[in-house]
């Protein structure tokens, strides 16, 4: 096992093949720059000539400052029956202007016989000729042995011959690919060790897909067996089930296996990198993603939280700050006063033991009614503050009325009337909206803005409704979660009721009260 691993990122090529992902040219340039800053040694930019965007990317990338990172252009070996100099794919690779190229070639006789439909000898010549041409242009060459582990199981000698053809032609790296993602770690280990013995002077890499849920495990297994380079994508993006996730592979190598990959300060930016790429990919961030997910270090059970407060490593496999994450304590009916006390302390509120017990009882009672505070920290903080005898709410709802009307085939009209007390004054206002919640929002703002003009900056950014007891049909209890923002900060609030208007009002009122209590506006 090497003391160091080279990080090869293929988010911009293999990752972009994931369903629902389409990076713009500007996205690709920004991601490449961020990966270089993070410490990736090699960044695979795409397949020049395959599409105009990838071709333009390599032209634009020449102006990027990638520090010590090497940009890699990807392509396949020459086509059967032509010389490498005549192959347009290889010409595009040369024209991309990168100092390194990755060549994918077949190592499984099934693909040689049935997909390429050429001879096994010709496939070996295709590999050798393509590598030799790239070396003649001074390129660092990665040979990606496609379907290597499937090929090795079916015909190990021929699979080895493909590697031998690449190595003898001058390939700098032999990358063993589990293209179908179906290999097991023991198979990866056995094959990698055998290749390491056979090709002692050529560096090895691993490229694993996640179709069996083993991409990260297989990558780590290969690294332990002698692979020096790991090919990964940020967040595991990729075709079908995806690729080995950089955000799990790198910390496992570095923190668990003692294999240096990136600088320590870069590892602390791992969560930021994950979120950055997810944002540009327009994909939701997986809260349960190891190391970098929002829930990766979230604790809910009361016994866990009590132990965590005393000894953090009792329920955390690593310090979350090492990867740019943080511990979170969740408040629910499963937790006890330790959860509440810790969570309140995080929010800057000190609770006595009696106050914590009262909050625990309130949480359990409200969750029985359908509330859930794990994703609504704004409402939970208000619940804590309201438990204090000295709490003075910035406003108080006295009553509201919502009317929804449709007449004569015209559009639906919603109107809300609210009566609110602020200090000693009672405001009675009404407003129309394109729906009952919108009308309520406009009416309450109309009443509060004279007292709290900063509420102009508060905007509802998301509104989610969940049915809690589906069998009840239209009588079901619903939970409403509202996300709001003042342009700088965001917060979530919750409401629950068999009446969707009441549930919405509860969440809406909290979303306006919270920034006032926090004195953000």
Encode pLDDT of 147-190 as tens digits. Answer: 999 999 999 999 999 999 999 999 999 999 999 999 999 999 99
Q: How far is it, in rounded angstroms, from Cα 151 to Cα 412?
A: 64
Token duo for residue 278: 């997810």
What are the strands of the beta sheet with 425-433, ordered from one edge?
A: 396-405, 413-422, 425-433
Query: What's the pLDDT at 329?
Result: 63
Mean pLDDT lowest for which of 37-51, 268-282, 416-430? 268-282
Per-residue tokens: 506: 């509860």
Mean pLDDT of the chain: 90
Angle between helices 270-281 and 25-38 (to 10 degrees): 170
Q: What is d(CA 22, CA 12) in angstroms, rounded to the nearest whole number?
A: 10
- Maximum C-alpha span of the chain: 92
Q: What is the pLDDT of residue 333?
A: 46
CATH of 6-281, one of 3.40.50.150, 3.20.20.70, 3.40.630.30, 3.90.25.10: 3.20.20.70
Torsion, Cα 481 486 487 489, to 10 degrees, reads -70
Mean pLDDT over residues 124-141, rounded? 98
Of the ranges 21-25, 31-35, 324-328, 335-339, which one carries the lowest mean pLDDT score? 335-339
Dihedral of the alpha carbons of 306, 310, 316, 318, in degrees to the nearest 10: 160
How far apart, in Å, are the Cα atoms of 251 and each of 228, 263, 271, 334, 342?
A: 16, 11, 11, 31, 28
pLDDT at 28 exceeding the cut of 80: yes
The CA-to-CA distance between both ends of the chain, in Å, stands at: 56
The DSSP letter of residue 48 is B
> Which residues does 303 contact at the CB level (< 8 Å), separation at least 6?
none
Six-digit token pair at 323?
């990867």
What's the confidence (pLDDT) of residue 334?
Answer: 47
Using a pLDDT cut of 70, give the percent of the chain over it: 91
The reported pLDDT for the residue numbered 280 is 87
CB 328 within 8 A of CB 308: no
Which range (262-266, 307-311, 371-375) has the least confidence? 307-311
With contact defined as beta carbons under 8 Å apart, do 414 and 442 qualify? Answer: no
Please state which of the ranges 32-46, 69-83, 298-312 shows the lowest mean pLDDT. 298-312
Average pLDDT over residues 17-30: 93
Could you tell me what percent of the chain has a pLDDT over 90? 66
Residue 33, burial from CB neighbour count under 10 angstroms (0-12, 13-18, 19+): middle
| CA 103/CA 92 separation, integer angstroms | 12
Burial of 62: CB neighbours in 10 Å, binned 0-12, 13-18, 19+: exposed
- Lowest-pLDDT choice from 164-178, 287-301, 352-366, 483-497: 352-366
How many H-runs (helices) and E-runs (strands) does the chain carry?
A: 18, 16
pLDDT in tens, 469-481: 766 666 788 889 8
- Residue 189 · residue 221 · CB < 8 Å: yes
Closest by CA to 14, choosing from 178, 195, 218, 188, is: 178
Q: Is a pLDDT exceeding 60 seen at residue 231?
A: yes
Query: What pLDDT digit, counting tens, does each position of 389-402 carry?
Result: 888 999 998 999 99
Tell me what the mean pLDDT of segment 6-33 comes to.
95
List the chain domain ranges. Answer: 6-281, 298-368, 395-451
Q: Return d(Cα 323, Cα 272) in angstroms, integer.
A: 9
The CA distance from 185 to 89, in Å, is: 34
Cα distance between residue 78 and residue 92, in whole Å: 12
- Give the Cα separation of 479 and 31 in Å (integer): 37
Mean pLDDT of 233-244: 97
Radius of gyration of the chain (CA): 29
Q: Read off the tokens for 390.
A: 């000295």
The DSSP bridge pattern shows strands 413-422 and 425-433 to be: antiparallel
At residue 269, does pLDDT exceed 80?
yes
Which of 3.30.1490, 1.10.1200, 3.30.70, 3.30.160 is the CATH number of 395-451? 3.30.160
pLDDT of residue 303: 62
Burial of 272-298, coded b for 16+ CB within 10 Å and e otherwise, reads ebbbbbbebbeeebbeebbbbbbebbb
- At 262, list the tokens: 């990136």
DSSP conformation letters of 368-432? HTT---TT-HHHHHHHHHHTSTT---S-EEEEEEEEEE--TTPPPEEEEEEEEEETTEEEEEEEE
The per-residue pLDDT for range 303-356, each reduced to its tens digit, is 665 666 666 767 778 988 999 987 766 554 445 555 666 666 666 666 777 777
């Amino acid at each position: 096992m090497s003391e160091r691993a080279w990080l090869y990122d293929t988010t911009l090529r293999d990752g972009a093949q994931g369903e629902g992902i389409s990076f713009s040219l500007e996205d690709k340039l920004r991601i490449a720059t961020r990966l270089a800053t993070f410490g990736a040694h090699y960044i695979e930019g795409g397949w020049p000539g395959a599409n105009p965007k990838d071709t333009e990317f390599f032209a634009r990338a020449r102006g990027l400052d990638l520090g010590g990172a090497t940009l890699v252009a990807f392509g396949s070996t020459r086509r059967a029956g032509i010389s490498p100099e005549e192959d347009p794919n290889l010409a595009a690779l040369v024209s991309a202007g990168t100092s390194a190229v990755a060549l994918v070639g077949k190592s499984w006789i099934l693909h040689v016989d049935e997909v390429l439909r050429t001879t096994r000898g010709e496939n070996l010549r295709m590999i050798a000729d393509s590598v030799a041409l790239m070396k003649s242009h001074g390129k660092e060459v990665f040979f990606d042995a496609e379907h290597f582990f499937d090929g090795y199981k079916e015909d190990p000698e021929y699979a080895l011959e493909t590697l031998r053809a690449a190595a003898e032609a001058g390939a700098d790296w032999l990358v063993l690919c589990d293209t179908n993602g179906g290999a097991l770690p023991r198979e990866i280990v056995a094959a990698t060790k055998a290749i390491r013995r056979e090709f002692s002077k050529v560096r090895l890499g691993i490229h694993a897909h996640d179709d069996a849920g083993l991409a990260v495990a297989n990558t780590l297994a290969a690294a332990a067996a002698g692979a020096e380079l790991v090919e990964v994508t940020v967040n595991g993006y990729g075709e079908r089930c995806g690729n080995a996730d950089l955000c799990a592979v790198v910390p496992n190598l570095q923190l668990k296996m003692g294999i240096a990959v990136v600088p320590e300060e870069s590892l602390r930016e791992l969560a930021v990198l994950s979120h950055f790429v997810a944002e540009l990919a327009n994909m939701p961030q997986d809260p349960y993603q190891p190391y970098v997910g929002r829930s990766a270090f979230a604790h809910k059970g009361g016994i866990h939280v009590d132990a965590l407060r005393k000894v953090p490593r009792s329920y955390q496999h690593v310090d979350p700050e090492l990867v740019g994450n943080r511990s979170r304590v969740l408040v629910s009916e499963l937790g006890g006063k330790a959860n509440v006390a810790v969570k309140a302390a995080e929010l800057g509120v000190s609770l006595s033991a009696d106050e914590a017990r009262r909050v625990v009882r309130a949480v359990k009672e409200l969750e029985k009614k359908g509330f859930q505070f794990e994703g609504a920290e704004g409402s939970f903080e208000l619940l804590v503050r309201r438990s204090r005898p000295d709490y003075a709410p910035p406003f108080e709802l006295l009553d509201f009325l919502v009317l929804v009307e449709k007449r004569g085939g015209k559009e639906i009209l919603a109107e809300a009337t609210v009566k609110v007390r602020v200090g000693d004054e009672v405001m009675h206002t009404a407003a129309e909206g394109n729906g009952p919640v919108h009308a309520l929002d406009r009416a309450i703002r109309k009443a509060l803005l004279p007292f709290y003009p900063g509420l102009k900056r508060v905007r509802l950014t998301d509104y989610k409704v969940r049915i809690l007891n589906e069998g009840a049909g239209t009588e079901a209890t619903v939970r409403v979660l509202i996300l709001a923002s003042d342009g700088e900060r965001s917060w979530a609030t919750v409401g629950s009721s068999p009446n969707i208007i009441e549930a919405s009002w509860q969440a809406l009122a909290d979303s306006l009260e919270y920034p006032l209590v926090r004195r953000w506006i």
